[in-house]
Amino acid sequence: MNSQKICSPGCINFISQISRSFSKSCARESQKKCRLLVIGGGTGGCSTAAKFVRKIGAGNVTLIEPADTHYYQPMWTLVGGGIKSLDDSSRSMKSVIPSGCEWIKDKAVKFDPINNTVTTANGTNVQYEYLIVAMGLQLNYGHVKGLLEALEHDPAVVSNYWDKSLVKTFPALQKLQSGNAIFTFPNTPIKCAGAPQKIMYLADDFWRKNGRRENINISFNTALGVIFGVKKYADRLSEIVKKRNIGVNFNLNLIEVKPESKEAIFAVTNSDKGETKSVKYDFLHVTPPMSSPDALRESTLVDQTGYLNVNKETLQHMEYKNIFGIGDCTNVPTSKTAAAVAAQAGILKTNLSAVIDGKPVQSLYNGYTSCPLVTSYSKCILAEFDFNGQPLETFPVDQGKERRSMFLMKKYFMPFLYWNGMLKGYWNGPGVFRKIMRLGQ
């Protein structure tokens, strides 16, 4: 029966007002409780959720994550180079969230650590006993004037950091015949600090193999003052760029892209006169500025830099002892990589388990991180280091050397380890193997 037949317009208004406020209050009053809440279904979130489903039992872990797809982001360098496809790097989120873990497909928008509650965008309040924050980094493409428009409309402007623009990278490499190819590095912390260079070395190799390199000038324009943060690997990379005739320009931070005139505008970061530099591009690979996600940055859980404020060794929150953090969204002062997350996952598991069992936290993270610096279509330098920027290499060979074995490991073994070991909570980094292969070092 049509409601208009039995109600006057005033009556209809009244009914719809009541039903609106009823559904609003339902959304507001949606409450959930769990023992352990994990925010983020990326590398850190899935691997720690898997560990704790085993530790505290199915039905006790809840995970909040808005995305449908989980990406193995370390493969994106190879996708940009045309070695793997975007599909190779993805799985449905449903398939990687551990069974026994409840998935709330939503975004965390508010943290209330005093009342142990997280609120989602749809208005669900989730109350927890323990919380793991694993929200990764936010990509701030919009902070560079004209960049989003350029990524959308200019086929020569690409970025391996975002699935939508990553798929443009290899076609743009294939298309370029001559001119200026520019690769950028921003003035914020980023994930995988080697990735802005890795795609440059692949591009160099690709253009060489296709006989075009003589006609293409390659420049690495970085806001930093060094090519890489660890001296041993920085020295090797400096030799490589020199040998391959790649220009490296320090202290240049991309602030604007003008696709109509094919110009990239950089702020000169070591100038106090607000100097800028305009460079013409025919190919532009952009690494965007990054930050912790807004919802986290606007909470009381962060330090003055906006990252989750944890003890860098125990990964326990500095103020709220039932909260732990892992991965890129934390203020742990190490290079933000999936390899670092693997090592942190083991520490977090031990320390949060101790808190749950009423024991002191004792396991300490040494800052282990790793960056497989792909330097061509067949070679890789496997950088591994600690908090102090000291090499912490797994294999008993000089890992600062470009090696085919390391490239094959990056291409075949690491993805297998990620999907089958790490996301299932069974991989805590290569610490044990390092001790065996390096006789206890």
Work out the angle between the directed axes of helices 195-209 and 163-175 (0-180°, nearest 10): 30
Would you say 80 or 259 has its CB closer to ligand FAD? Answer: 80
Alpha-carbon gap, residue 286 to 142, rounded angstroms:
12
26 assigned to active site: no
Which residues in the 116-155 window bind ligand FAD by CB under 6 A?
134-136
**Is residue 344 close enough to count as binding ligand FAD by CB under 6 A?**
no
How far, in whole angstroms, is CA 280 from its chain's centroid?
A: 29
327: contact with ligand FAD by CB under 6 A: yes
**Catalytic residue flag (residue 7):** no
- Judged by CB under 6 A, the residue of 160, 184, 299, 394 near ligand FAD is 160
In the list 51, 62, 73, 202, the residue contacting ligand FAD (rule: CB under 6 A) is 73
The smaller minimum CB distance to ligand FAD, of residues 107 and 244, is found at 107
Q: Of residues 34, 36, 37, 41, which one binds ligand FAD by CB under 6 A? A: 41
Question: For ligand FAD, which residue has the nearest CB?
Answer: 42
Position 74 contacts ligand FAD (CB under 6 A): yes
Q: Which of residues 352-411 bind ligand FAD (CB under 6 A)?
A: 370-372
Q: Which of 34, 329, 371, 380 is catalytic?
A: 371
Q: Does 343 sit near ligand FAD (CB under 6 A)?
A: no
Which of 154, 204, 205, 328 is close enough to bind ligand FAD by CB under 6 A? 328
Binders of ligand FAD among residues 216 to 275 (CB under 6 A) are none
- Residues engaged in binding ligand FAD (CB under 6 A): 39-45, 64-67, 73-74, 76-77, 107-108, 134-136, 160-161, 191-192, 195, 293, 295, 327-329, 336-339, 341, 370-372
* Residues labelled catalytic: 192, 371
